[in-house]
Each structure stands twice: as C-alpha cells, then as structure tokens.
Structure 1
Amino acid sequence: MPVTALVSAKSAGTTTSALALTLTSRRPSLLAEADPAGGTVRAGLLQGAAAADTGLYHLAAAERTGPDHLAQVFARHLWPLDREGNRRLLPGLTDPAQAGALARTWPALSDVLHVLAEDAGYNVFIDAGRLAIEAGHLHPTLTPAPLIHQADLVLLVVRGTEQSLALARHVIEPLRAELTERGSGADALGLLLIEEGPYRAHQVAEVLGVPLLAALPFDADTAAYLTHGGRPPRGFERRPLPRGARTATEHLDAVASRRHIQQQYPAHRQIAGVLQRLTKGGARG
C-alpha cells in the first residue's frame, strides 16, 4: 500500500482531507500528523482524549536512545480512530517549539511508515502541513522533508479558488525540483482538489500544470466534525466527503501501484499504458 504525503501552500484543508482519507480507507490505515507547526487532531476531532504521553514528540526522544528504539516503541504512540483499531493516528506536536528536535527523527520514522505500508498492508497518510521553502528547497526544520522525499505520492491540497491557485503556483516548481533531486521523482507529485470555488478539476490541473490525482467534495458539516469533533453528522458514511474520500483512496492505490510497476519495469511502456487505461477516471472530473 502507498505512503501518501499531503501538503499545502497555505491552510487548505490538509488535515481534514487526510482524516477523511484515513477514516474511509477500505484497508487498515494510519494518519501520521507530522506538521512541524503542530498537530490539531488531538484537540480537534479527539477533543483532548489522546493522552499527553502519546505522539510524535515522544518518538523523537525514543530515536535519541538508539536507532532501533523508535521502531520498538512506535505502536505505543498510536491512538485508535475507530473501535476496531483498524484506523490509527500518530498525534502531532503540541508545541511548534518541539519541531527542532525532529530533524534526525524524520528518516527513521519514514522507514517505519514504509514498513507498515509495504509489509502490513496499511494505507499510510502523512499530514505534512504547510510547505516552507528556503533557497529553493524544503526548509529542514519547518517541513518534514524526509517524509515528503520518500513518499510514494505527494498531494498538493488546493481549493478551486483564485486565491488557493495563486498560492499553489509559487510552491509547485520548488516542490517538483525537490522531488526530482532528493525524492522519489517529480511524477510522485499530484493535486488533491477540495471542490470549493469556481474552478473545476480539469481547469485546476491545467492552470497548475500538475495532474489531478484526487478530488473531495466540499462538505461543510462533515469537515466541521473532522475539525472540531463532537457528534458526527447523521449518516456520516453516506455523506459526500466520506464517499468521495473512499473513491479517492482507491484511485490513489491504483496510481501508486502503476507508478511502482513503471519504476520496476521502465521499458514496459505497453504495460504502463494498459494500467493507465484501467485506472482512468478514478479521480473526479
């Protein structure tokens, strides 16, 4: 299963989108809240239920104990998002001042997340927060750069508004260059569109010059629940956002699988073409 990092140029619903994908995945799933600016799910959806001794910062302390210690304690720092324990959260930082302690933690955490995806069959989503660019590269402290570099897919979350597209334009080329030079390749980059505003999916992809890999309906009531917690909207599973997220996760799985095959067999263009035709139409248009 893929490891998918979600990023934004500015607050664009990244955490809400990552939660929607995690909660509606048909497979076991994990959301790693890795925004250096701080996590919001603990105080939002969970309304403070997650224990203070659980979460990302404690993994940094474990990693300093020894290179294997983070992997050994990783499971202890996950919080269940459903009764069955099939959907889990790695809660994020409670204080942005803690971000500096994570620079050497990101690579080890990335390895654990990929093992979880590849060997345990989890859909892993990373909320990497707002991109911070310095001298044309991802900022080493204000972004979890190694998590983005090693992700199978990197989704730039945008809304169909002029403001959102204007902000996204400024980060696309640095992000594309970063993935080419230090990551798994520029073809890992795609868009996740929140369908709010006048621009439709094909217009957004054309304006930004990046393929659209997923689209989520604008569903204010469900988004408010995922952001603030409380009682879920009636018929939660049937509401537009969960239904759209379920479709999106399936399409992302197919895209990541196709990309994996292309990387293994780069000369097999016919195979890639067949896979592309089979998965065409998974993203909303």
Structure 2
Amino acid sequence: MSVIALVSGKSSGVTCSALALTLSSPKSSLLVEADPAGGTVRAGFLGGEGSAKHGLHRLAAADRQGTLAREFSQHFVSLDHKSSGQRLLLPGLTDPTQAPALGLTWTQISRLLGVMDETGYDVIVDAGRVVTASETRLSTTHYPTPLLHRADVVLMVVRTTQASITAAAPVVRVVREELAHHGTGADALGLLLIEEGSYNSSQVQQYLQIPVLGMLAWDPHTADVLTHGAYKKMPKTLLNSARSAHQTIKEHVNKRRVRLNPVGTQMITGRAS
C-alpha cells in the first residue's frame, strides 16, 4: 500500500482532507494524527468517544521503556464504529506541549508505519502545519519530520484561493529542500488542492512548481461532519473526490517505488504473477 503525509503552510483543512482520504481509501487504512498542535478527530468526528489512555501521547514513554513495537497497535481506535479494523485512527496529542517529548520517537514510529504499509494498509499521516527550523530545514524537535522523510508522498494541502496559494509558496521551498537532502527525493512532494477558490489546478501548479496529485471538492457540509461529528447525514461529494484522488496518488507512489527500488518491485511483481 502506501504512506501518505499531508502538510500545510497555513491552516488549509489538512485534518479534514486526511480524514476524507482515510475513509475513502480502497484498502484498509490508518489515520495518524501527528499534528504537533494536537489531535481533533476523537473530540470532533468521533464525538468524544474513546479514552485518553490511547493515543500518540503515550508512545514516547513506551519508546523509553522499550515496549513501543509491542504497544503500538494497542493505541489504535476504530473510525467506522466496527471491529473490522478497516478504518483505524492513532489519536493525536492531547496537549501541544507534549510534542517535544516525541522528538526521539518519530523515527521509530515511522518504521512501524512502514510495517503497517507492508501488511496492506494505506497510512495517512496528518502532519498539520509545517514547523521550520531554518530556510532549508524542518524542525526535528517540534515536528514529525522523520514521518515525511519515509513517506511515499508528501501532499501540500492548498485551497485554490490567492491567500492559501501565497501562504504555501515559502513552505513548499523548505519541504522540497528537506525531502531532496534528507528524504526520498524532492519528487515525493505534490499538491492536494481543495477547490474553494477561482484558481484552477494548472495555475496553482505553475505558481508553486510542484505537480497536482489530487483534487478535493469544496463541500462545506461534509467538511462540517468530518470536523464536528459523524452522527449527521453525510453526503458523498467530498468522499467521492477523495476516492478519485487516491487513484492519481497511488499512480505517483508506484512510479516512485519503481524508480527507487526497481529490483524489489520486480520481485514483488514476479511473486504476484
């Protein structure tokens, strides 16, 4: 499957977009709320269900105790109110001040997410608003940068408005540099556009100089359900567009995997046939 990280230059609907991709994935999926500002899905979409005993904020202590690998999946909760395990959530931090404690744990978490990928899950990482350390580096103490390093694709979520596009431009440059020198390559970076404004995909792509890999419909009603609660009637406009976005994202992931590991890809293809 694939590991897909979502980021933004400014608040642009990253969590809502990540949740839409998770719920619309054609495969089993895991949403990781890695936003250092804290998680909102449990209090919002899940209507406050679940216990604070589970979540990302518990994993730093597990890592220090050497039990992270064993306890990791114990912190998943269901997104579809079933026990099928098809739609899972790793709830985020309950307090932004917890973020620095995970600085040394993100790399281990990224490896465990790779295992989830290998076992057939689409892993969607909500990394929230980018936190930089310099003009060319992302923060490694206040941001889940190692998750971006190992992701198959990093999607910059941008609304098709002038304000959102302008805010994204300087962040795109930093993330591109980070992935080029410390990740799997600058071509891991792409755009996930929310069709709110008047600019089309070609215009945004030309301005930001990275490819558009997906488009999400501007659907305030569904966004409200994803943000504030799952117990309302939810139309499918946003989820249908997210399902279509999966196709183009997956094509990009497959091309990159072939380029980065042609021998391994050929072996997998040979076994499948």
TM bin, normalised by shorter chain, reads over 0.9
8 Å contact from structure 1 (residues 130, 143) kept in 2: no
TM-score, reference length from structure 2? 0.93
Give 2:167's aligned residue. 167
Q: Which of residues 75, 78, 98 in structure 2 aligns to 1:77? A: 75
2:258 equivalent among 249, 255, 261: 261
Question: How big is each residue's C-alpha offset from its partner over 1:9-51, in whole Å with a ceiling of 9 and x where there is no partner?
Answer: 0110000000000001110000000011111111111121021
Q: Which amino acid aligns with 2:89?
A: L
Q: Per-residue deviation at 1:230?
A: 4.3
Aligned match of 1:127? 126
Structure 1 residues 11-90: aligned runs within 5 Å? 11-66=11-66, 69-82=67-80, 83=82, 84-90=84-90
Provide the C-alpha distance between the structure 1 equivalents of 2:233 and 2:220, rounded to a whole number of angstroms.
10
Rounded Cα–Cα distance in structure 2 between residues aligned with 1:168 and 1:26: 29
Structure 1 Cα separation of the partners of residues 245 and 120 of structure 2: 17
Q: RMSD across aligned C-alpha pairs, in angstroms?
A: 1.4
Question: What is the CA–CA distance in structure 2 between the aligned matches of 1:60 and 1:133, rounded to whole Å?
Answer: 22
Q: 1:240 maps to what in 2?
A: 237
Corresponding residue for residue 158 of structure 1: 158
Conserved 8 A contact 1:8-1:158? yes
Q: Secondary structure at the match of 1:138?
A: coil
TM-score normalized by the length of structure 1: 0.89
Structure 2 segments unaligned to the other structure (5+ residues): 264-273
Query: Per-residue deviation at 1:251?
Result: 2.1
> What residue number does 1:193 align with?
193
SS in structure 2 at match of 1:117: helix
Are 2:99 and 2:143, in contact at CA under 8 Å, matched by a contact in 1?
no
Q: CA deviation at 1:203?
A: 1.1
| CA displacement 1:111-170 (0-9 Å, x = unmatched) | 00011102x110000000100112221012231110111111000000000000110011
Match of 1:139 in 2: 139
SS in 1 for 2:169: helix
Match of 1:94 in 2: 94
- The residue type paired with residue 131 of structure 2 is A
Q: Match for residue 276 of structure 1? A: none
CA distance in 2, matches of 1:49, 1:224: 18
What is the letter of the counterpart of residue 244 of structure 1?
A: S
Asked if the contact 1:222–1:232 (Cα under 8 Å) also holds between the matched residues in 2, the reply is: no
Q: Distance in 2 between matches of 1:232 and 1:188?
A: 36
Check conservation: 1:165, 1:204, Cα contact below 8 A.
yes
CA distance in 2, matches of 1:5, 1:40: 17
Take 2:70 and 2:30, find their aligned partners in 1: how far apart are those partners?
17
Unaligned runs of 5+ in 1: 267-285
2:249 pairs, out of 249, 252, 257, with 252
Task: Quote the Cα distance in structure 1 between the aligned partners of 2:96 and 2:175.
Answer: 23
